[in-house]
Amino acid sequence: MSSFLNPAQDAPAPAQQPMIVDGDQANFMADVIEASRELPVLVDFWATWCGPCKTLTPALEKVTKAQGGRVKLVKIDVDKNRELVTQLARMGLPMQSVPTVVAFWQGQIADTFSGALPESELKRFVEALLKLAGSAAPAVDLIAQGKTLLEQGAAEQAAQYFAAALQEDQEKPEAWGGLSRALLALGDEHQAAEVLTQVPGKIAEHAEIAGARSALALAQEGRKAQSAMAGLSQRIAVDPDDHEARYELASALNASGARAEAAAALLEIVQRDRAWNEDAARLQLLKFFEAWGMDDPATMAARRKLSALLFR
């Protein structure tokens, strides 16, 4: 399963504030106690010689990253911070062994565990902490924020929002489609395709899922055509009726993000020879519309031009 399919996020901290930091005694109050008044903080007490720590810490980092800013992780090397560990032990924390994880909320200890838990249990631990903090967010809000981030080019953050929405509601096609598109924008076609295989059957044919599938297929087509863009343009310059070259060029342009130009190439084919290759240009254009989304400006503009050509 995609590493992004993890718990939700609601109000991410500012981008400049790191959500995973190495802590020490000097910064414990600021990094943990004060920070926990704004969002839950996990403190991972570890040691270089600790075998289980080498398993737990990466898993904690993964779960924390998936929150997109709703949880902070502070990692503290017990050997470099012995005085701090002693002080915490005097407060009643079970600091006899590592790894030990302590959750803080509102300046107080909220929960704790020792030992290397599997990732599934770490997720449940964090989910319980988020519920305690009252920071759960409706899936619809997470999806809306994910779409905004994706439009702004912040694909990794967008993926976290969509994954967060799925943690809240597995039957949101917009979240599945958005997550796949975000991963595709990150250049991870394999993971984008993997996400689509996990869509629940009852929503597998939803327009959002179909659009994501089309976007993935077009990206794969375009990737192959991109390397030949110069040659395709040259072929068209020599023979404007080389519809095969123009068709492939449209795929390459779309993969490059040049949606208007990609649509224009296909519209040119429709104008010159609508019946070419069994109406392939029009059908590919419809596939573009599906992948881009029906409310995308490029879709709306090209749809108007297509209508003008078909009904003139």
Q: What is the pLDDT of residues 288-307, one digit of tens each?
A: 998 888 888 999 999 999 99
* The listed CATH number (3.30.1490.20, 1.25.40.10, 3.30.565.10, 2.60.120.1440) that belongs to domain 224-310: 1.25.40.10
CB 82 within 8 A of CB 51: no
pLDDT-derived band at 137, boundaries 50, 70, 90: low
Which residue numbers are catalytic?
Answer: 50, 53
* Burial class (CB within 10 angstroms; exposed 0-12, middle 13-18, buried 19+) of 112: middle
Q: Return the domain boundaries, the chain.
A: 20-133, 139-204, 224-310
Tokens of 168: 């809240």
The candidate with the shortest Cα–Cα distance to 103, out of 26, 11, 32, 25, is 32
Q: Is 43 helix (H, G, I), strand (E, B) or coil?
A: strand
The candidate with the shortest Cα–Cα distance to 263, out of 235, 282, 238, 244, is 282
Q: What is the CA radius of gyration of the chain?
A: 25
pLDDT per residue over 275-285, tens digit each?
Answer: 999 999 999 99
The whole-chain average pLDDT of the chain stands at: 87
What CATH number was assigned to the domain covering residues 139-204? 1.25.40.10
Tokens of 169: 């509601």
The CATH topology of domain 20-133 is: Glutaredoxin (3.40.30)
The candidate with the shortest Cα–Cα distance to 142, out of 8, 252, 304, is 8
pLDDT per residue over 83-126, tens digit each?
Answer: 999 988 887 777 889 999 999 998 888 899 999 999 889 988 98
pLDDT at 2 over 80: no
CB 28 within 8 A of CB 86: no
Q: Tell me whether the CATH fold assigned to 139-204 matches the one assigned to 224-310.
A: yes
Q: In what order do the strands lie in the sheet with 41-46?
A: 20-22, 72-77, 41-46, 100-105, 108-114
CB 71 within 8 A of CB 19: yes
The candidate with the shortest Cα–Cα distance to 260, out of 240, 225, 288, 239, is 288
Distances (CA, A) of 205 to 177, 196, 211: 11, 11, 10
Q: What angle do CA 135, 138, 141 make, to 5 degrees?
A: 105
pLDDT per residue over 15-59, tens digit each?
Answer: 346 899 999 999 999 999 999 998 999 999 999 999 999 999 999
Number of other CB atoms surrounding residue 153 within 10 Å: 9
pLDDT at residue 5, rounded to an integer: 53
